[in-house]
Chains A and B, each alone.
Chain A
Amino acid sequence: MLISSKPFALKLLVIACVAGLAAGCSDTTDQASNIGMESAAAAASASEPRLGIRPQGDEELTIDMNQISNDELKNIFNYIDENIDDHVVNLQKWVQQPSISNTGEGIQESAYMVKGFFDQLGCQKTQVYDVGITEWGQQGNPVVYANCDEGADTTMVVYWMYDTMPITQPDLWKSPPFEARLVEQAPYRKVLIGRGANNSKGRQMAFLNTMMSIKAVTGKLPMNVIFVAEGDEERMSIGYRKFVREHSDLFEGVDVMWGGGSSEGCVFVELITSGEAWGRGPTYSNIHGGRKRQVDAPAWRHIKMLSTLVDETGNKVMIDGFYDDIVPLTEDEDRYLHDLAKNMNVDVAAKNLGVARFIADDPYEIQKMARAGTSMNLDGIWAGNMFEGGSGAILPNRIVSKHNFRYVPNQDGMKIVDLLRKHLDKHGYEDVEINIVGDVPWARMDDNNDLAKAARKMRDIFGVGSNEPIESETILGGYWPAYLFAGDVLDIPIASGQVGGGGNSHAANEYFIVEGAGRTYGMAGMEKSIVTVIYNYLGLNESTQYVAAVEATQGQL
């Protein structure tokens, strides 16, 4: 890794130290901190700044420049190409700062780092908000808010999350999760490996890089922007929920949101069985496992309890009434899923996702499950002796498991929790505690609004194509906390669109595609697509302007 300026080198040295500390606590190998040191050394010695990123990589697609009518856009494209190394370094630096909401690691630092991004962009108001204790009892992580008034007619809210998932399997990473190493990963010559690379620092940094590029080229943004960056997305957006509900005034006059569109619902609970609550088994701490002969086991009770919640396949929820209230898909939605299924290669999809196979073998069924399915997951479980290979005998006093329910209209998160409570009581598990981490309701909305149309037009220009949209309101957009701007507090159109991407969210070796290949764009392409969507949306990429621009150019000649 080659890095440009000396100030940055110093910064990286600090970051390397932070990474070293993190390695100590998160099971990362020693190699991680060594590599951090090497990076710092490389940075210190390198006076010439070239990562050598190829903006077009090995992409087989090209942007149809005939449809790029505004010269500003062309200049911005050029600027992006010329500065792509810096843009990738920006992402590297962000990935190198852990921001793990499930543990708190780096959250405060990250909030101020993100505030700094918005300061750099020139937003007049930037603020880190302490949201206090949230609805389900936990302290929320800070929300970063920025208001960038460009005196424009249109105001766009941009949704960000600055938190990432924790590291659960450090030994499975091919490069340390907070190093942000660029590696070859076929078919891509360069992807960036790191926690948060895809979810969601990669595309957010691409957005910021795009805004910075627009500003560098044109001196201003073509719209007013309000950023809201939460630090609790992996904690059911508990702080974001409170912030938006309490500060609707901060979003007055907004026209549209740059975000994920409609969303399914998700409620997340922890189930806790303990000797203390049960009145049997160990009460204060784990005790000796040899005592199982004469002492009851809360852990076995938990297993028996859990086994009542799903059928033998683990795929059907056995809670009475769970599937009630589900509204069937509309014909249009069904058609949309069939469209998606047409282009799906199930084997490739399974391989890309890192699974042996899907529950079903029929692409349509898989699409339906993925976009409109319901589920109860076992996200995690722990108790007692967790040292693999050891035999230290322990009878745990307490066992915890985590579960996210995915639900659809007209299921309700809190009703699901009630049904779960009733199920546990009915089966004799009155003592098992349900701890609600949080609930994110589904958001049904029109996924074919003007911003979405601008994105579709961009996809045509960039040659990636898109399916016919659903003309009515739907939830088929994928999970994210859409609801607060989709009727709960505000009710505005939401969409976004960019080419490029990454993978392995919530998995080991999370990555972001830096140099594209085949039909997938890299980071430069992503940034260009973002600015194209925005110009499309604002009507700044119409052919009339193209004509005017051409005339102006000819005049100069």
Chain B
Amino acid sequence: MKKMQENFGHDLSALSIAFMIISVAACSESPEQDITASGQDASSLQMASVDIRSEESLGIRAVADETVDIDMSRIYNPELKDIFAYIDGHIDEHVLNLQRWIQQPSISNTGEGIQESAFMVKGFFDQLGCQKTEVVDVGITEWGQQGNPVVYANCDEGKDKTLVLYWMYDTMPITQPDLWKSLPFEGRLVEQAPYKKVMIGRGASNSKGPQMTQLNALMSIKAVTGTLPVNLIIVAEGDEERMSIGYRKFVRDHPELFEGADAMYRFGGQGGIGGGSEGSVFVELITSGESWGRGPTYSNIHGGRKRQVDAPAWRHIKMLSTLVDETGNKVMIDGFYDNIEALTAEEEIALRKAAEGVDLEVAARNLGVARFISDDPYEVLKMSKAGQSINLDGIWAGNMFEGGSGAILPNRIVSKHNFRYVPNQDGMDIVDKLRKHLDKHGYQDVEINVVGDVPWARMRYDTEIAEAVMLTFDTFDLSYDEPVPGQDSILGGYWPAYLFAGDVLDIPIAGGNAGSGGNAHAANEYFVIEGAGGTYGMAGGEKSIATVLYNYAGMNTPTEGGEAK
């Protein structure tokens, strides 16, 4: 499937994309009826989109079925009110902007659409009027792979404060095309209770939806006021799903491009205030007959030969089984759990408080899991915010045609593993310990390929940017997990925070805005377009971002509101 996607990756016209979608379906054993129907829908929808842009409307309700609303008495600056009205008046276009972006695949694990996407994103920043926009080839990165281009934009509005916006333009690949209820690169709007309209598509939630929400907000501010409340430096990476290998090199090579940055604001959702990050190191384990000196050496051979030939695949299974306990939840590598710092009392309190509102059954259903490892909300929250793990992200070898019996003795088997780690564990130290573990168990021949490492990053939240976000949440009637007060913490969820949290730069970071989505890295990834209940839709998200920026710029105070602009 990988090569096929590459073949079609250069075709940008709607028709080609429609064909691509059909082809994907054809190769992935979807029922033929669905292929035809969906394929036609895809192209007609796209053609219709063009017409809609000129005359008709998607009929998106900017304020839909939300039961929360914005406390307008705290929107002091009339500019913001105008911006809100502008957003409401242009929400159809804003949704189409997202749809078009999702229709452009940008899959860093395969390379599909990456180059096109980089230039598409550069175009976004050109449209925004940034003086400097650039697609930067980062070259070969630290662990040996070519990095994907980084898109950099500098938008100098002559303002006092400069905010860095972190973006990722890559998405996950499609691993289970048959489980999608609409095609992953169609960007179809569907009803999904309780939402009348969500957009389904790869990258919808992670992270084109939240990022297009930002861009739409910025474009709206500019349309209404002619400027932005802050200077912006935008850095968009294409390797987030490859351990940010290109981004790492770019920021380390070009600290001068971030001179004068006061803080970083990252896209997010209304789930809470983000900023800090756990660590993650990602490796591939490879067992082959060639390095073992037993079994097939060049290619797979006939599976009937197992009787007289050793099996690298069985060796890999036995090797993997030494890495975790029977439950699969405890890492059996010597020293893995060393160096872990206990949570502080404040962190414990924050977790306990956050656990109070958690309904595990609803959380499990939303995540698409039968249940969590633990049934105690506090334990589950602690695992998710401060836990450690070795995952089996993928594995492949030999005959992968379900239902077939073609006998194969594989010469090579690969599995993928991400370790999540916390202070003061260290990614490269974990790789060393893994190597020692393998050697100790007699697997000296098993190869470890480091894809990349993203260290944890501690962050404080008593900062102007975090306060601007929290103030916005209050104004939008959104509850949020209290960030850990008065100290730095990793509690915030994984992302490559570290480069701006001490590694290259050291500036305050916060993320958060109204709006939501789900199924990141899963089938049927979605972004909420029309909100419902306590969840805002896309328009609400855009308004919240405008509010954050005005709050941060000090332009939404009662004083500010008093001045007629």
Known: A102-B405, A310-B314, A356-B293. 12 other contacts (CB 8 A): A285-B368, A291-B384, A294-B374, A300-B324, A300-B329, A312-B318, A354-B301, A381-B313, A381-B413, A402-B405, A404-B303, A438-B405
Asked whether, in the complex, the Cβ of B299 is within 8 Å of the Cβ of A508, the reply is yes
Q: Residue-by-residue, is A394-410 near B (CB-CB < 8 Å gives 1, otherwise 0)?
A: 11110110101010000
Q: Is B403 an interface residue (CB 8 A)?
A: yes
Which of B110, B326, B400, B418 is close to A380, meaning CB atoms less than 8 Å apart?
B400
User: Please, how many angstroms separate the alpha-carbon atoms of A342 and B172 in the complex?
Assistant: 56
Asked whether, in the complex, the Cβ of B523 is within 8 Å of the Cβ of A286, the reply is yes
Q: Is B23 an interface residue (CB 8 A)?
A: yes
**Given the complex, which residues of A lie within 8 Å of B4, measured CB to CB?**
24-25, 27
User: Please, how many angstroms separate the alpha-carbon atoms of A500 and B249 in the complex?
Assistant: 57
Listed residue (B179, B302, B313, B373) with the most chain A CB atoms within 10 angstroms of its CB: B302
Q: Is B372 an interface residue (CB 8 A)?
A: yes
User: Please, how many angstroms separate the alpha-carbon atoms of A378 and B398 in the complex?
Assistant: 8
**Given the complex, which residues of A lie within 8 Å of B367, measured CB to CB?**
282, 287, 291, 295
Which of A281, A381, A394, A438 is close to B521, meaning CB atoms less than 8 Å apart?
A394
User: Please, how many angstroms separate the alpha-carbon atoms of A266 and B280 in the complex?
Assistant: 44
User: Please, how many angstroms separate the alpha-carbon atoms of A479 and B406 in the complex?
Assistant: 13
**Given the complex, which residues of B lie within 8 Å of A386, measured CB to CB?**
175, 394-396, 400
Asked whether, in the complex, the Cβ of B318 is within 8 Å of the Cβ of A314, the reply is yes
Q: Is A374 an interface residue (CB 8 A)?
A: yes
User: Please, how many angstroms separate the alpha-carbon atoms of A238 and B173 in the complex?
Assistant: 35
Listed residue (A24, A366, A385, A396) with the most chain B CB atoms within 10 angstroms of its CB: A385
User: Please, how many angstroms separate the alpha-carbon atoms of A389 and B396 in the complex?
Assistant: 13
Q: Is A304 an interface residue (CB 8 A)?
A: yes
CB distance from A298 to the nearest CB of B (A): 9
Q: Is A129 an interface residue (CB 8 A)?
A: no
**Given the complex, which residues of A lie within 8 Å of B380, measured CB to CB?**
294
Shortest Cβ distance from A374 into B: residue: B307
Asked whether, in the complex, the Cβ of A266 is within 8 Å of the Cβ of B304, the reply is yes
Q: Is B298 an interface residue (CB 8 A)?
A: yes
Q: Is B420 an interface residue (CB 8 A)?
A: yes
CB distance from A196 to the nearest CB of B (A): 12
Which of B389, B404, B411, B519 is close to A103, meaning CB atoms less than 8 Å apart?
B404
User: Please, how many angstroms separate the alpha-carbon atoms of A487 and B391 in the complex?
Assistant: 50
Asked whether, in the complex, the Cβ of B383 is within 8 Å of the Cβ of A293, the reply is yes
Asked whether, in the complex, the Cβ of A402 is within 8 Å of the Cβ of B398, the reply is yes
Q: Residue-by-residue, is A375-397 near B (CB-CB < 8 Å gives 1, otherwise 0)?
A: 11111111111111111111111
Count of chain B residues near A, Cβ 8 A = 108
User: Please, how many angstroms separate the alpha-carbon atoms of A300 and B384 in the complex?
Assistant: 19
Q: A292-B390, A307-B317 are in contact. Are A391 and B416 (CB under 8 A)?
A: yes
CB proximity to B under 8 Å, residues A328-356: 353-356
Asked whether, in the complex, the Cβ of A292 is within 8 Å of the Cβ of B405, the reply is no
User: Please, how many angstroms separate the alpha-carbon atoms of A373 and B304 in the complex?
Assistant: 10
Q: Is A169 an interface residue (CB 8 A)?
A: yes
**Given the complex, which residues of B lie within 8 Å of A313, measured CB to CB?**
310
User: Please, how many angstroms separate the alpha-carbon atoms of A315 and B303 in the complex?
Assistant: 13
Shortest Cβ distance from A384 into B: residue: B394
CB distance from A51 to the nearest CB of B (A): 27
Q: What are the 3 tightest A-B residue pairs by CB atom distance, in nearest-first order?
A: A300-B328, A390-B109, A102-B404
**Given the complex, which residues of A lie within 8 Å of B65, measured CB to CB?**
none
Which of B23, B328, B420 is close to A304, meaning CB atoms less than 8 Å apart?
B328
Q: Is B537 an interface residue (CB 8 A)?
A: no
Asked whether, in the complex, the Cβ of B173 is within 8 Å of the Cβ of A296, the reply is no
Asked whether, in the complex, the Cβ of A377 is within 8 Å of the Cβ of B407, the reply is yes
Asked whether, in the complex, the Cβ of B299 is within 8 Å of the Cβ of A385, the reply is no
Asked whether, in the complex, the Cβ of A506 is within 8 Å of the Cβ of B110, the reply is no
Asked whether, in the complex, the Cβ of A287 is within 8 Å of the Cβ of B368, the reply is yes
CB distance from A299 to the nearest CB of B (A): 4
User: Please, how many angstroms separate the alpha-carbon atoms of A297 and B520 in the complex?
Assistant: 17
Q: Is A358 an interface residue (CB 8 A)?
A: yes
**Given the complex, which residues of B lie within 8 Å of A284, measured CB to CB?**
179, 368, 522-523
Q: A102-B404, A293-B384, A381-B313 are in contact. Are A169 and B299 (CB under 8 A)?
A: yes
Shortest Cβ distance from A275 into B: residue: B370
CB distance from A82 to the nearest CB of B (A): 35
Which of A370, A376, A378, A393 is close to B282, meaning CB atoms less than 8 Å apart?
A393
User: Please, how many angstroms separate the alpha-carbon atoms of A270 and B297 in the complex?
Assistant: 25
User: Please, how many angstroms separate the alpha-carbon atoms of A75 and B501 in the complex?
Assistant: 87
Q: Is B327 an interface residue (CB 8 A)?
A: yes
Q: Residue-by-residue, is A302-319 near B (CB-CB < 8 Å gives 1, otherwise 0)?
A: 011011001011110000
User: Please, how many angstroms separate the alpha-carbon atoms of A397 and B523 in the complex?
Assistant: 11
Asked whether, in the complex, the Cβ of B520 is within 8 Å of the Cβ of A288, the reply is yes
Q: A290-B420, A369-B307 are in contact. Are A507 and B301 (CB under 8 A)?
A: yes
CB distance from A162 to the nearest CB of B (A): 15
Q: Is A359 an interface residue (CB 8 A)?
A: yes
Asked whether, in the complex, the Cβ of B398 is within 8 Å of the Cβ of A379, the reply is yes
Shortest Cβ distance from A398 into B: residue: B176
User: Please, how many angstroms separate the alpha-carbon atoms of A387 and B387 in the complex?
Assistant: 26
CB distance from B383 to the nearest CB of A (A): 4
User: Please, how many angstroms separate the alpha-carbon atoms of A504 and B301 in the complex?
Assistant: 7
Asked whether, in the complex, the Cβ of B387 is within 8 Å of the Cβ of A395, the reply is no
CB proximity to A under 8 Å, residues B393-423: 393-411, 413-414, 416, 418, 420
Which of B296, B303, B327 is close to A296, meaning CB atoms less than 8 Å apart?
B327
Q: Can you list 29 A-B pairs with a CB-CB distance of less than 8 A? A: A24-B23, A25-B1, A166-B404, A284-B368, A287-B521, A287-B522, A288-B520, A291-B384, A297-B328, A297-B329, A303-B320, A306-B317, A310-B317, A312-B318, A314-B311, A355-B305, A357-B294, A357-B310, A378-B397, A381-B400, A390-B109, A390-B110, A390-B173, A391-B109, A437-B405, A479-B304, A504-B299, A505-B302, A508-B299
